[in-house]
Amino acid sequence: MKRARSIAAGLLGRFLRQCQQQQGSRGVSTRPEILSSPPISTFLPGVKYGTANVLAEQYRIQSQIAGSKLDHLGDRLEAFLRAPSSDVVSWTKILAACNEHRDYIGALDLFDRMREQGVVPDRICFVTVLDSVIGLGDIAQGKRIHSMVLDRELERDSMIGTAVVKMYARIGSIQDACRAFDRIDQPGVAAWTVLIGAYCRLGSFNSVMQILERMEAEGVKPNEVTFITILDTCKNLALEDGKKIQALASEQQQRSLDASARIGTAVIGMFSRFSSMILAREAFDKISQKSVAAYTAMIAGYANNKQPREALAIFQEMIRRRVAADNLVLAVAISACASIPDLEEGKALHCSAMDLGLHRDDVVRTALVDMYSRCGSMEDASAVFGEIERPDTIAWSAMIAALGRHGDPRGAVAMAARMQQDGWRPTGATMVGVLAACAHAGMMEEAVKFFVDMAVDHGLAREREHFGCLADALGRRGELALAEELIRAMAAEEWDERIWHSLLGNCRSYNDMERANRCADVIMRLDPKTDPLGVGGMITGGRAPARWEDAKRVRKLIAARAIKKEPGKSMISVKNNVRGFVAGDRSHPHTKETYEEVHRLTDLIKKEGYIPDTRYVLHDVPEDQKERLLWYHSERLAIAYGSITTPPGTALRIIKNLRVCGDCHTATKLFAKVMQREIIVRDNRRFHHFAKDGTCSCGDYW
């Protein structure tokens, strides 16, 4: 074990040194400002930009096709190349086929071979090969094709000119896009929209508004694609900016029902991203003929903003109105159901999928795997996964994450190996699932190996989630210094509260108060509205009098910052009714019976050796009162309520919005034993399967 830890520490140390060297060599940003390029650039402010990075997936595709280039399209391509002669139309069709197969290198090779045979590219051929350049992400190839366009004096043609603007905009050279735009004799709305899209991706809303004003001055009216482009792709779009675009689009929406539905759908998505669900619902209600896309956007908006009941209500409305459901809207509705602690609701949606004839669709099946696992039923999740004849990367990743979430890290790692044996390469999401599974089980050495090898073996970029999982794995094993060093190796702008929350919780477990306070300070800088008591162990170690003083100090800070502390809440579904409890809750009709059951169960577990851990009570009160405060934690009330309202032996499924505290974890293991019931608790980190023998699936790592 010591040798394994030494190897893991060595690998991680090497990675951290590489990070430090890279940070030291970064220096000052050399990204140029927008170059002046009259006339379009004269009224646009300077916007910093960078050459677009080619995605790792594109590199993977290139490496796969580089050796075969032309022959991987099969017999169709071979027959074409054997033909005695082909015109430009035939060449263009085969170029388009290469693009469809994402063989952009092959398409460019074919284009060169076409020219060698004396075939002159026409307008459509140039547009097609420029799409190949976009797929490849190679600006040098783009400039080469553009020079051919210039040689043939085609740059003023609206179709080709727009394609050139699109190519430069997508690759990231905004000044070249502006120059190409200025060469078009009479740019149409498509060219203007492409240019707007480029500035949307840069996050320059002011530039977008100036382009819209310029369009109006030149008599070109934006169309629905223009507005949808802004609403869907504009980075850093503020809520007020979105409202401006919505107002501008209202005239376009009045022209046709189709335009109204499409723009309205984009508006719903935009407001949902701002968590403005009232405004999103208003936009939804204004659509007179709602398409399945509009319903999907509304359901997804509610689901993403933690309003799953509202999402399911919209889905039921769609079914009542006989709007034809597709696999996507059903998958979104199933995902919404995953946020509700009601397995029966999920099974009802599964039945709906059967009624709609969509239960064999792999997208729907993948959503069902995720839903069943999140609702606590790995048996159903495994059964549905087994029905997928050839799982894709998303399905494999969903099952890997499910196994890790339910305390089967070895199964998650084995599933990742099966995925690769089946011919699928892991993605970043796959590796998050594997790393999280290792972290939850305290498998530090394995987590370090996966983290170090993921870039070398799979060409995957390490992102914030991967850093967070590895830091959690290190912290759970007590390697707090390494965990903090790993987090600080990230760029500061990549930090988020969750990573530091995780480290702070681990500091609490190992009573490292100095580091815990550093973590808490970072968290409160990242989000001044953070509840310092809620972030945990900052005030749980050391001598008791010091703890109470720290608690008082933090509560004063909460009051000074006007922070509203999120209460711990546990929910249990009984007979399709969800009951929620907070600590000490006395608002329910069955309060008397629930509290009597809490007392009965507590007496039983004390006979099994339960000793209350009053360290989890952050109030300076007598010891007996501390015990009582522990008894009435929200999950214990939910367990007691479930005990008196469900048949003996029935599994209890509970969702808690915060992390399960150590004392409740110990108590629940004993509750499951004395009640002879399986208790499944989903907290904000993972699932805990408390078995009838008094053990938990997490192995006490959570």
Rounded to 5 degrees, φ, ψ at 693 are -90, 5
- DSSP bridge pairs for 656: 570
Q: Please tell me the distance from the alpha carbon of residue 420 to that of residue 417, in angstroms, as a whole number.
A: 5
Ranges 481-485, 496-500, 656-660, most confident: 481-485
Least confident of 20-34, 387-401, 547-561, 648-662: 20-34
Least confident of 87-91, 512-516, 573-577: 573-577
Burial of residue 105, with CB atoms counted within 10 A of its CB: 0-12 exposed, 13-18 middle, 19 or more buried: buried
| Burial tier of 687 (Cβ tally within 10 Å: 0-12, 13-18, 19+) | buried
Least confident of 96-110, 421-435, 560-574, 651-665: 560-574
pLDDT band at 294 (very low <50, low <70, confident <90, very high): very high
- Alpha-carbon dihedral 254, 255, 258, 261, rounded to 10 degrees: -20
Task: Report, as an integer, the average pLDDT of 442-461.
Answer: 86
Model pTM?
A: 0.73
pLDDT in tens, 180-192: 999 998 899 999 9
The C-alpha atoms of residue 381 and residue 542 are separated, in whole angstroms, by: 44
Which pLDDT score, from 0 to 100, does residue 250 have? 84
**Strand, helix or coil for residue 584:** coil
Q: How confident is the model at residue 585 (pLDDT cuts 50, 70, 90)?
A: confident
Closest CA to 248 of 234, 227, 232: 227
Q: Which residue has the tokens 């280039």?
A: 69
Q: If you write DSSP's letter for every residue of 127-156 in order, what string do you get?
A: HHHHHHHHHHT-HHHHHHHHHHHHHTT-TT
* Whole-number pLDDT of residue 537: 40
Q: Worst-scoring range by mean pLDDT, 408-417, 426-435, 450-459, 645-654?
A: 450-459
The answer to whether residues 455 and 462 touch, using CB atoms and an 8 Å cutoff, is yes
* 622: pLDDT strictly greater than 80: no
Q: For residue 544, what are its two tokens?
A: 């008791």
Nearest one of 437, 415, 432, 433 to 424, comparing CA atoms = 415
Q: Give the domain ranges of the chain.
A: 290-380, 569-690
DSSP H or E run through 656: strand 652-656
pLDDT for residue 252 is more than 50: yes
- Tell me phi and psi for residue 138, to 5 degrees: -110, 105
Stronger pLDDT, 72 or 476, i.e. the higher one? 476
Alpha-carbon distance of 314 to 320, in angstroms, equals 10
Average pLDDT, the chain: 82
Question: What pairing do the DSSP bridges indicate for beta strands 577-582 and 687-690?
Answer: unpaired
Report percent pLDDT > 90 for the chain: 46
Is pLDDT above 90 for 493?
no
Identify which has the larger pLDDT, 425 or 567: 425
Confidence of residue 554 (pLDDT cuts 50, 70, 90): low
Provide the pLDDT for residue 557.
57
CB 557 within 8 A of CB 565: no
DSSP element (H, E) containing 571: strand 569-574
- In the prediction, which pLDDT does 1 show? 43
| Cβ contact 550:517 at 8 Å | no
Q: Which two tokens stand for residue 508?
A: 């609490």
pLDDT at 470: 93
Question: What percent of the chain has a predicted confidence (pLDDT) above 70?
Answer: 80
DSSP 8-state assignment for residue 31: P
Lowest mean pLDDT among 123-127, 303-307, 487-491, 613-617: 613-617
Model pLDDT, residue 125: 95
Given this model, what pLDDT does residue 690 score? 94
Q: What is the pLDDT of residues 676-701, one digit of tens each?
A: 999 999 887 788 999 999 999 887 76
pLDDT band at 546; cut points 50, 70, 90: very low
* Region 598-608 average pLDDT: 94
For the segment 190-210, what is each residue's pLDDT rounded down to a tens digit?
999 999 999 998 888 889 999
CA distance to 4, 10, 21, 702, per residue, from 18 (Å): 21, 12, 5, 30
What does residue 119 show for φ and ψ, rounded to 5 degrees? -85, 125
Q: Is there a contact between 486 and 17 (Cβ–Cβ < 8 Å)?
A: no
pLDDT per residue as tens digits for the range 42-91: 333 333 322 222 222 332 333 333 333 344 455 566 666 666 667 888 88
Q: What is the DSSP string of 486-528?
A: HHHHS-GGG--HHHHHHHHHHHHHTT-HHHHHHHHHHHHHH-T
Q: Is the pLDDT of residue 254 over 70?
A: yes
Residue 501 has a pLDDT of 86
Give the whole-angstrom CA distance, residue 183 versus residue 195.
Answer: 13
* Separation CA 401–CA 656 (nearest Å): 19
Confidence category of residue 147, pLDDT binned at 50, 70, 90: very high
Residue 268: is its pLDDT beyond 90?
yes
Q: Please, which pLDDT band fits residue 550 given cuts at 50, 70 and 90? A: low
Q: Is the pLDDT of residue 473 over 70?
A: yes
- Give the list of residues 6+ apart from residue 599 with CB closer than 8 angstroms, or none: 631
Give the model's pLDDT for residue 549: 56
Task: Dump pLDDT digits (tens) for 124-143.
Answer: 999 999 999 999 899 999 99
Return the pLDDT at 81: 66
- For residues 488-506, give the mean pLDDT: 85
Residue 266 has a pLDDT of: 93
Torsion of CA 95, 97, 99, 100, to 10 degrees: 170
Rounded Cα distance, 168 and 51, in Å: 10
Find the mean pLDDT for residues 400-412: 90
Instruction: Kindly report whether the peptide bond that precedes residue 187 is cis, defined as omega within 30 degrees of 0.
Output: no
User: Does the pLDDT of residue 535 top 70, yes or no?
Assistant: no
Q: How many angstroms from the chain centroid is the CA of residue 507?
A: 27
533/636: higher pLDDT: 636
d(CA 418, CA 426): 11
Beta bridge partners of 581: 570
